[in-house]
Structure 1
């Protein structure tokens, strides 16, 4: 069961306190430790700590400890057991791209930040590499020694056990619930909604969706392709699962789901290609959770047979299908991705000839078709080589400034010591050798201080040339390397058909393409 998490609302009192805490935060000195606040929540209920309370608690603590808050990573509706810290939308951006901007990560409780021991080990290694620290408001955390790290691991183990226990409780609840003839948990399948019937929560038909399912059934029985059914539903503005356009997979998933018969099912995860299976009672019978099924058992079996026949006819096509090259890069002028499609024609000799072509799935009649995919791929690659091939391949590395910071502090303290000593009445305020020696030492210290670049005392990104061009990189890495680079840089190749039938390709390059092409190391195992 999934839950949709909405942004939390702040009360007037909370907003007032937030403004006060932010004002106090801005008054902290520039050299104060810089803290990143991490706020995470899977599902907001009455028993959970709200994101607003988490953030206010963390800001109060930061002000007490003299930590200057430089940002807040809010990841709501995110499970810590399913997504590691570096995979989350907001926190992941800070951990991967904004490392020089903070010194420590502050969170409300360890299980709000992380729940898997393997993820914790990765974060500890990351902290050691980049000189960061972790602070928990409600746990004692310290990464300064191996023993301290072992204690942190122990706390994380407890959090992982708690998460496993929660999963066990949910599974146990589902095992009990799925045997009942009333609806207790989960989202009904497409075509149904919930209502009270004789005191029990049961499934009833959602009128508009149920009519759509009945149309899918009748069209499929006539042999209408799933993508044609999807277009009709789109034109009729029939709502889909998630307010997106209908596609053939949604049509097939709806018709192949036994839940359309009004029975309880389980499964339907991505690992099983969304295939749900009926739940059986102790006598081996399907458990009916509605009195008005959209499709009867007989109708369901008929449509499965019709879909199976159509799938069998397409099966030999699927064997030779290959992924579209430059998918996500090559686009039609309407903005949709251009896909490579296979067609087959039986010859008089009995052989089957294969035809490959590129098309836009939204622009078929009048069709936008390129009969020679290889020519289009070649034109794209040639345009990319001409526009970007001479660019240097730049790599981004992280440079820590703590060593130079310590050296600068040592020199500044030494300079202050000798300057004080040379003042009237100071320990070096004497004529002769002692004063000359102190002045010579002071000059040397000031010279050494002047050699330290102020930027080198900061944690920062440095950009170094690899000594090769992108032309050389793509020739050695092949078409796959070019595809990855173009996708990450947001470069597209727009195809359009002119009035005379000629296909025109235009390479669209973002203005900051050099920054987008910079190669970055993956810091996570």
Structure 2
């Protein structure tokens, strides 16, 4: 495999050596141990071991040890403390779906592969189950005995302590940095950029983006909804940070962020619901990191009041909200976007409030695509699914190891060679009478036993077995949730549209390889 496009640049010398090592790898025998290389890096700096160096070191080791490299799992910009090996994009695919293709995992150092002891225990159990081994270039690893596994756990404990120390250092650095009136770390909020003045790195206005923020502020003060502000920005082709389309959440996030005043803030991540808070100095004052704020403190408070008033005037019926059923399955035929379930409320003359639920395509407006009876649609979908797929057999994928049959085949081949040599002229069985007859009889029996061994059964492989029930039975027992999960994993959709007479019609779209996609893969990780 060639280096991926996401990897840092390889030098000409490195690429030349890579090609040479690949050529040596190609001539290794087919029965050589098959190795998967795992290359991981959190952040690339001058002090880290580059992915290119990691891979070349691993390939050199593989050539020396006669290990045939069958693939490279490169996970760059991935933290081993945040993502376990089976959760990473490339390595996870090998560990979950391509298990029969390799015999061992080769990595540069244990902390390049794993950093949490709990993850290591899980990987050791997985290796025992599937007959795999771990090989570290710069650590002595061996999973052959409980004592050896204890040593591996000790090494992992050291790596986890090291990771904890790193977090402590980073946290300490931030605690110091956030009290300074200059910009030291992080990405400025929308509308600002960094510039150096009087020896200090401070924030200054990014003229184009600052103008966008001021437009948002003026529009919000006039009572313009956030979704309409987003539409205007999209029509004007104003770029966002993420180069995606504008939406109401992005607009509200910018206007509600105190950092728009040019002050130091903390929080504001997805895990904190993007709720940024000002950082205060020892006197309890906000810390300014710019000399030219986009919004003044007074303007910021005014727009918060305007946004709060608009939000207060909206109806909120959180207790009656429910997630859209079959989300990702039910789509609009015209634009192929997901159809969502929503609700509206009407106050009757008696003062009673009645709730109405309906399905609609959020992307299609004026007149839009609306279906007033969600339950009828869901019923039509489930009926169509039962008719088309209900009688399919539920198949489960299991992993079968071939090591036992490999050992038996090797024993039989060695025994056959022994008797064939003995029956040759001058051999130990080259005698007339009982001894020769007995040897020939034994040889025939051995060859018959060898013929009974299916060559495929000597390989580690996936085996597909019936569960003894149909999908109709599976869905009747598991309910809507089980059907939703299966339809999504199989890529089955139910497209809704209108015929020439304006009637709503649904069409169930089933991939040609649906039986393969419906197979139950199982989960090998606890």
3-state SS of paired residue (2:494): strand
- Tell me if structure 2 keeps the 8 A contact 1:368–1:497: no
Q: Look up the match of 2:126.
A: 126
Cα offset, 1:499, TM superposition: 4.8
Cα offset, 1:380, TM superposition: 1.6
CA distance in 2, matches of 1:413, 1:159: 46
Question: CA-to-partner distance for each residue in 1:438-468, whole Å, 9 max, x for gaps?
Answer: 1111111111111111110000000011111
CA distance in 1, matches of 2:270, 2:402: 45
Q: Look up the match of 1:477.
A: 478
Query: Which structure 1 residue ranges, 5 or more long, are not aligned?
Result: none
Q: Look up the match of 1:440.
A: 441
Provide closer, same or farther for how the CA distance between residues 497 and 212 of structure 1 changes in structure 2, counting only shifts above 3 A.
farther
Cα offset, 1:239, TM superposition: 1.2
Q: Look up the match of 2:292.
A: 292
- 1:302-313 aligned at under 5 Å gives the runs 302-313=302-313
Cα offset, 1:150, TM superposition: 0.6
2:80 is the alignment partner of 1:51: no
CA distance in 1, matches of 2:235, 2:491: 31
- Tell me if structure 2 keeps the 8 A contact 1:117–1:157: yes
- Tell me if structure 1 keeps the 8 A contact 2:7–2:51: no
2:30 is the alignment partner of 1:30: yes
2:423 is the alignment partner of 1:422: yes
Question: CA-to-partner distance for each residue in 1:238-285, whole Å, 9 max, x for gaps?
Answer: 111211111222122111111111110111233321111110001010
Cα offset, 1:398, TM superposition: 0.3
CA distance in 2, matches of 1:337, 1:451: 53
Provide closer, same or farther for how the CA distance between residues 516 and 413 of structure 1 changes in structure 2, counting only shifts above 3 A.
same
Q: Look up the match of 1:156.
A: 156
Q: CA RMSD in A?
A: 1.4
Provide closer, same or farther for how the CA distance between residues 499 and 289 of structure 1 changes in structure 2, counting only shifts above 3 A.
farther
- 1:444-459 aligned at under 5 Å gives the runs 444-459=445-460
For structure 1, which segment, 123-132 or 220-229, has the greater mean C-alpha deviation from structure 2 after superposition?
220-229
- 1:71-82 aligned at under 5 Å gives the runs 71-82=71-82
Q: Look up the match of 2:247.
A: 247
3-state SS of paired residue (1:115): coil
CA distance in 2, matches of 1:310, 1:318: 17
TM-score where L is the length of structure 1 = 0.97
TM-score where L is the length of structure 2 = 0.97
3-state SS of paired residue (1:356): strand
For structure 1, which segment, 376-385 or 120-129, has the greater mean C-alpha deviation from structure 2 after superposition?
376-385
Q: Look up the match of 1:63.
A: 63
3-state SS of paired residue (2:123): helix
CA distance in 2, matches of 1:228, 1:200: 39
Question: CA-to-partner distance for each residue in 1:486-518, whole Å, 9 max, x for gaps?
Answer: 111111122223454222322222221111100
3-state SS of paired residue (1:368): strand
CA distance in 2, matches of 1:286, 1:24: 63
- Tell me if structure 2 keeps the 8 A contact 1:40–1:112: yes
Q: Look up the match of 2:276.
A: 276
CA distance in 2, matches of 1:214, 1:505: 46
- 1:254-265 aligned at under 5 Å gives the runs 254-265=254-265
- Tell me if structure 1 keeps the 8 A contact 2:37–2:73: yes
- Tell me if structure 1 keeps the 8 A contact 2:39–2:51: yes
Cα offset, 1:315, TM superposition: 5.4
2:166 is the alignment partner of 1:181: no
Q: Look up the match of 1:197.
A: 197
Question: CA-to-partner distance for each residue in 1:133-172, whole Å, 9 max, x for gaps?
Answer: 0001111100000000011111111111111111111111
CA distance in 1, matches of 2:233, 2:508: 35
CA distance in 2, matches of 1:6, 1:518: 32
Cα offset, 1:221, TM superposition: 2.1
3-state SS of paired residue (2:387): helix
- Tell me if structure 2 keeps the 8 A contact 1:391–1:469: yes
3-state SS of paired residue (1:342): strand
3-state SS of paired residue (1:494): strand
Query: Which structure 2 residue ranges, 5 or more long, are not aligned?
Result: none
- 1:73-112 aligned at under 5 Å gives the runs 73-112=73-112
